[in-house]
Amino acid sequence: MLSFRAIGRFIRAGTACIVGAMALPHLAQVGFFQPILETVRHSGAPVGTLLKKTGLHRFDLEVGDNYVPQQPVLSLLDLVRKQEGVDDFVAYLGNRVHVAQLANWGSTLSHRSSLLSACRFAARYGHVVLTNERIKLEILGRKAKVSLIFLDPPTTDWSLFEYVNFAYMYSTFSMAAGADTAPDEVHFHSSRAPNLDRFLPPGNNTRVLLGQAATALVFPVEILAEAMLGPDSESAIERMFLERPPGAAESIAAILDSWEGEHTPNLAVVAEALGLSRRTLQRRITAEAKTFSEVVDQWRFTKSIEMISDPAMTIREVSERLHYANTANFDRAFRRWTGVSPSAYRSSI
């Protein structure tokens, strides 16, 4: 699994990050939509067919911290809605969407000491689950407002994305405030809201505002002091998450890590997966003073160190996972990276 902690090694190795006009298509963590897959399987729908139609079948979807391009996830949500005849997507998912189960990010957020600490964590690392998402905490007198802001949102209808994201946000609020406490306001960017009965307690006075700048909750500021699962662990967080969204090399590495094919995808295949032309992806790699071959080589090195450190994996299995034709080729590459053979490296750790 290439988490943002592993991606951080690319930064320490000197990988530059180009943002703004050179930003890549956005990525989504697999954990974000795993509840959708679980719900579809439970309903008996043909999950494999849906994944093939969206192109998601090419990726490892068992590891929540893996990354895939965001557009196929949007397509998956839309296909599920149409094929299953879902009028209310949030109700369809039931209680399966909970922040504590949202890969390492959600687990870490849930184990903050208070809702204030959780909101600060989310504001700092809001880009981890959806790379174009930012989370903002505002104190407005006696009220607190938490907003989910999408940078460069899709041009097509992305309301289903917003609803799933809202479900994760509300589960965080309820974890601290309790199921019997309602927020003062709920904001949606979309022009319509899902059925909120499964979220809001009976007899609530919550105002629901549509067509807003961001998805948001507004609630009494004192709720920020309510406990989460705690305790805080700043050092663990810093080791796990990257401070900012990934650049070109890091995005490619994330795609390589979740790729399920028999061979390492070439530049054209990765570009297609990201929804880019080969030339555009090449320009963005070049802007980071890299070549595609160097990115793949760095990814293989990083993964080889991770896997060789796992005593449960044989050297041959590591070689096959990295798509080498044979163990001898992997041995030569590893000696080039480290100066020693894979077996010698394993013996030294």
Residue 289, domain CATH = 1.10.10.60
Q: Block means of pLDDT (10 residues each) for the chain, length 349 residues?
A: 42 36 74 89 86 93 91 90 76 80 89 91 92 94 94 81 92 94 96 89 96 96 88 55 71 88 88 87 87 90 86 92 91 89 85
Q: Does residue 273 fall inside a structural domain?
A: yes
Q: Give yes or no for a cis peptide into 231 (omega within 30° of 0).
A: yes
Q: Tokens at residue 25, please?
A: 């298509």
Cα–Cα distance measured from residue 229 to residue 69, given in angstroms and rounded to the nearest whole number: 31
Q: Does residue 20 fall inside a structural domain?
A: no
Q: Are residues 263 and 223 in the same domain?
A: no
Q: Are residues 341 and 314 in the same domain?
A: yes
Q: Are residues 227 and 317 in the same domain?
A: no
The full length of the chain comes to 349
Q: Does residue 2 fall inside a structural domain?
A: no
Q: Residues 244, 17: contact at Cβ < 8 Å?
A: yes
- Beta strand 133-140 with 185-187 is unpaired
Structure confidence at residue 310 (pLDDT): 87
Q: Which of 240, 272, 299 is the last residue of a domain?
A: 240
Q: Are residues 207 and 85 in the same domain?
A: yes
Q: Are residues 123 and 202 in the same domain?
A: yes
Q: What is the CATH number of the domain that holds 180?
A: 3.90.1520
Cα–Cα distance measured from residue 219 to residue 185, given in angstroms and rounded to the nearest whole number: 7
Q: Are residues 45 and 183 in the same domain?
A: yes
Number of Cα atoms under 13 Å in the Cβ half of residue 161 = 24
Q: Are residues 78 and 58 in the same domain?
A: yes
Q: What predicted TM-score, i.e. pTM, was given to this entire model?
A: 0.75
Residue 39's domain comprises 25-240
- Beta strand 143-150 with 67-69 is unpaired
Q: Which of 206, 240, 274 is the last residue of a domain?
A: 240
Q: Give the sign of the dihedral formed by CA 38, CA 240, CA 119, CA 126.
A: negative
Structure confidence at residue 232 (pLDDT): 57
Q: Give the sign of the dihedral formed by CA 63, CA 163, CA 107, CA 247.
A: positive
Cα–Cα distance measured from residue 96 to residue 193, given in angstroms and rounded to the nearest whole number: 19
Q: Strand, coil or helix: what is 227?
A: strand
Structure confidence at residue 191 (pLDDT): 92
Q: Residues 132, 27: contact at Cβ < 8 Å?
A: no
Q: Are residues 110 and 219 in the same domain?
A: yes
**CA-based nearest residue to 206, from 221, 189, 187:** 187
Q: Does residue 13 fall inside a structural domain?
A: no
**Backbone phi and psi for residue 220, each to the nearest 5 degrees, phi listed first:** -60, 135
Cα–Cα distance measured from residue 275 to residue 251, given in angstroms and rounded to the nearest whole number: 13
Q: Are residues 68 and 205 in the same domain?
A: yes
Cα–Cα distance measured from residue 297 to residue 6, given in angstroms and rounded to the nearest whole number: 15
Q: Are residues 44 and 105 in the same domain?
A: yes
Cα–Cα distance measured from residue 147 to residue 169, given in angstroms and rounded to the nearest whole number: 9
322: Cβ contacts below 8 Å, ≥ 6 apart: 264, 300, 303, 304, 330
Structure confidence at residue 230 (pLDDT): 62
Q: Which of 240, 272, 296 is the last residue of a domain?
A: 240
Region of residue 339 (phi > 0: left; psi between -120 and 50: alpha; otherwise: beta): left
Number of domains in the chain: 2
Structure confidence at residue 243 (pLDDT): 59
Q: DSSP per residue over 293-317, as a string? A: HHHHHHHHHHHHHHHHT-TTS-HHH
Q: Are residues 33 and 76 in the same domain?
A: yes
Structure confidence at residue 242 (pLDDT): 57
Cα–Cα distance measured from residue 175 to residue 110, given in angstroms and rounded to the nearest whole number: 8
Q: Are residues 156 and 279 in the same domain?
A: no
Q: Where are the beta strands (DSSP E) in 168-289?
A: 185-187, 207-209, 215-220
Structure confidence at residue 154 (pLDDT): 75
Q: Does residue 182 fall inside a structural domain?
A: yes
Q: Tokens at residue 338, please?
A: 């480290």
Q: CA of 332: how far to CAs of 295, 300, 307, 319, 320, in Å?
A: 18, 13, 17, 11, 14
Q: Tokens at residue 38, please?
A: 């679980």
